[in-house]
Structure 1
Amino acid sequence: MSVAATMQLALRDAFLRRDSPGHALARDSTRVAEACQAMADRFRRGGKLIAFGNGGAGADAAHIAVEFMHPVTVGKRALPALALSNDAATMTAIGVREGLAETFAHQLAHWAAPHDIALGISRDGRCANVLRALRTAADRGLLTVALLGDVPPPPQEESPRIDADHVLLARSTDPAVVKEIHVTAYHLLWELAHLFLEHPAAQQPADDTQPLAQPHTQPWPVAAEQRPPACGDTCTTCADQATPATVVQLLDGGLALADTGTGTGTEEISVALVDAAVGDTVLVHAGEAIAVITKGTDHGRR
C-alpha cells in the first residue's frame, strides 16, 4: 500500500473516531442549554466562573477563563472568570501542606461565594482534586458543572461519585477526542451563556413544571440538504444575534416557518434542538432555535 493510501486511511479513521462523540454532544444539546441558563443566572447575580483541572485540563481551565474574561468576539461583555491552576505558588503550597487532593477545594473553600460557578474538567472523571473541589463547591451552594470523559474505570474499581448540577460528557475513550469535545463544549457554554444573558426572558419557561427545552429525537447536525437555505441581508433569524420568533408552521426534517414580527414574512428555521409547537415563541440564533421562551396554545398538539 502506498504512503498516500495509508495516510488517507489513517485520516478517515481519525475522522470516524470523532464522528460519534460529536453527534453525541449535539444530542445532549438540552443539557448544554440548561447549564448555560444556570450559568447566565449566576453571572446576572454577580457570580464569577471558577475553572479547574489537571495537566491538559488545567490548560483548558485557563482557556475557559480567558474566553470569558476577554472575549474574542467584539461587543461581547467580559464576564468574571479565573482558573485555579494558574497560580503555581498557591497550588504547590497547598499540595505540600494539605495534599494534592486539596489543591482546588482549599482555594474554593476560602474565597468562593455561593452565587459563583465551579467548572471542573477531568478526562476520565476520576481526578481526586477535581472531584473534591466539586463536592466542596456543591456544599457551599455554588453552581457546579463538570466536563468529563467516558473513560471506564480500571477493573475492580467503581465509578466515582460526581457532585455536579450539570455533567457534560465527552462520549469517547480516546483522550485526544475527549479533549476536542471538551473544547467544543466550553465554547458552547461561553456562547449560549451570553445569549441567555442578552435575553433574560428565555431564562425561565412559561410553565415552571416543564423544562425550557425538551430532548428531540432528530439527531444533530441535520443533513445539509435539510438545513435552512442561505439567506440574504433580509434574513433576521440568520444573524449571529439571537432573535425571538413565533412558530407558525412545522415542516419535515426538524424545520419550521417562523415569524419574527418585523413585517418581512416568515423565515425557515431549524427546531431540531427544541420541542417547539405552532404558536410557541422561540429564541433563534444563526437559524437554529435554541430555547422555547413562551408556549402557545397549540403546544403539544402536532
Structure 2
Amino acid sequence: MLSNPIIDRWLSSLTAKYPDLSACREDIEAAYRCLSRAYEAGGKLLVCGNGGSAADSEHIVGELMKGFMSKRPLSAGRRGLLESLFQEDGAYLADHLQGALPAISLVSHSALMTAYANDVAADMVFAQQVYALAKPGDVLVAISTSGNSGNVVRAVQVARALGAATIGLAGSGGGRLADLCDRTIRVPWTSTPDIQERHLPIYHTLCMMVEQDFFGDRHGMEAEGDADVRGA
C-alpha cells in the first residue's frame, strides 16, 4: 500500500488543478484503497456507464490494462518462461507484453447487450454481465452523472449481492448510487458536461495511484511470482 505522503501528493496535485474536487478527496482516497486491496488480492475491475460514461468506462480500462504513466516490463521469471517455450518468438512476446491491472469494460459487448435488451430487459444488460463475471473481492465502478441510470443501478445491485465492492462516480446529488455503492464520488456539479469533465481527472488519478502501487518504485520492475496483476 502506498504511504500517506505519496497519496497526499497525488490528491494534492488533483485538487490544485481542480479546487472544487477538494470536497471529494476523502471519497477518492477510499476508492483508491478499495481498488488497491482488490488488485493485491488478485481481483479485477468491472466498469460500466452510458453515453459519455460508456466512453469513460473504456478509457479507464485502457489506462489499467497496459502501461499508463509507468513502464511495466515483464519480470525475469515470465520472460524466461516465454523464451523457454518459444525461443525467438518468446523474446518478442516478452518484449511486447506489459504488466496489467485486470479490468473489463461492460459497455463493449454489443452482441450480448443488444440481444439481452431485445430478448430480456434493456435495464439488465450490465447486470447480466456482472452476474457472469463478478466474484467476491472484485470491484465494480459504476458511472452515472445523475446516479440514477437504471442499467447502472441494476449492475450495482447484482455486484453487491455477489460480494463485489462498488464505487460510484456521479454528480452532486449522487442519486441512487449514493445509497447503493460502498463509496460514491460525487463531484459538486449538476450539469452533465461539468460532471463528466471532473470524472476524467478523478479516474486518471485513481489509475495513476494504483499503477504506482504495483509498478512503481516500491515494487521495482523485477518482481517475481505468478501474480498477473504485476505481469510477473
Give the TM-score of the pair, scaled to structure 1: 0.54
Q: Which residue of 2 aligns with 1:160?
A: 176
Alpha-carbon distance change, 28 to 151 in structure 1, aligned in 2, over 3 angstroms = closer
Q: What is the distance in 1 between the residues matched to 2:56 and 2:124?
A: 20
**1:43 correspondence with 2:19:** no
Identify the match of residue 71 of structure 1 among 67, 70, 79.
67
Cα deviations across residues 256-277 of structure 1 (Å, max 9, x unaligned)?
Answer: xxxxxxxxxxxxxxxxxxxxxx
Q: After the TM superposition, which residues 219-238 of structure 1 pair with which residues of structure 2 at under 5 Å, given as runs?
A: none
Check whether the contact 1:25–1:169 (CA below 8 A) recurs between aligned residues.
no
Larger Rg: 1
Which amino acid in the other structure matches residue 46 of structure 1?
G
Task: Tell me, in whole angstroms, the C-alpha distance in 2 between the residues paired with 1:194 and 1:40.
Answer: 9
- Residue 92 of structure 1 aligns with which residue? 114
Cα deviations by residue, 1:141-163 (Å, 9 ceiling, x for unpaired):
101111001269xxxxxx53631
Distance 1:123 1:188 in 2: 19
Q: How far apart in 1 are the matches of 2:192 and 2:133?
A: 32
Q: How many residue pairs end up in the alignment?
A: 178
Q: Which runs of 4+ in 1 moved over 6 A?
A: none
- Residue-by-residue CA offset, 1:250-301 (whole Å, 9 max, x unaligned): xxxxxxxxxxxxxxxxxxxxxxxxxxxxxxxxxxxxxxxxxxxxxxxxxxxx
**Following superposition of structure 1 onto structure 2, how do residues 1-302 of structure 1 map, counting pairs within 5 Å?**
22-76=18-72, 77-150=99-172, 159-160=175-176, 162-197=179-214
How far has the Cα of 1:241 moved from its partner?
5.3
Instruction: Answer whether contact 1:104 1:130 (CA < 8 A) is retained.
Output: yes
* Bigger relative contact order (CA 8 A; separation at least 6): 2
- TM-superposed CA distance for 1:24, in Å, is 3.0
Q: CA deviation at 1:67?
A: 0.7
Secondary structure at the counterpart of residue 59 of structure 2: helix
Relative to structure 1, the CA distance from residue 27 to residue 197 in structure 2 (aligned partners, 3 Å threshold; closer, same or farther) is farther
Aligned residue in 1 for 2:221: none
Contact kept? 2:70, 2:211, Cα under 8 Å: no
The structure with more strand, counted as a fraction of residues: 1
More helix by share: 2
Unpaired runs of 5+ residues, structure 2, are 1-14, 73-98, 219-232
CA distance in 2, matches of 1:125, 1:178: 11
